[in-house]
Structure 1
């Protein structure tokens, strides 16, 4: 059974570029082995991520994320059974909020800052799908590897 879990968490204060490189390298390797696909977004001091795959694999992966000191205040925004994946071509796509894509993020925000912890499930899924579509149109996600 396929599931999609969407969560948001606060980025640790001492988080740096090498931390992101480490997350992406390990996640991509582990996700390929576990059959997980997804998209990780970083914006305004938050991680915002969709994980797709077998229920147990997604649960195990999210449990590891919850134990990772680089994340805090993690909130599950949506967890549902799915018929098909949105992010089939990415073991772990990555998009960083930039001036170029900022309007997309802000179109889902009620404030001047992107704050995903309080997003409704449907809005969270819609935003991640739009971010993924935008990334595909401009040639994929940023890799940092």
Structure 2
């Protein structure tokens, strides 16, 4: 069986969020999208469903967290190089993201994070390959 990771995030404006993540290179998947949600392919096997807060609320039986005030998760994506981390951070910032912290360079590992348009935390990390 092929394994996929699909996570759902509540967003205030589905179209603005779809455009933001498309600018980062996420691919919109119209088959699973509508006015209430945008299904985005991140890489093969990993996807995000950007759901309107109203639709997201219909899927759960507790309050939707305001990600600008509290966080439950940090989404971490690996990158192929330091340059890819920097490029994605620059595109996120240009699209309206808040940069969460300056780059952290540990020699063998390099990372930086951002908050998307709704305050969800994303961390981009490059780790040196080891034999």
Which structure: larger Rg? 2
TM-score (norm 1): 0.26
As a proportion of its length, which structure holds more helix?
1
TM-score (norm 2): 0.28
Per chain length, whose mean CA-contact separation is higher, i.e. which structure has more relative contact order (CA < 8 Å, sep 6+)? 1
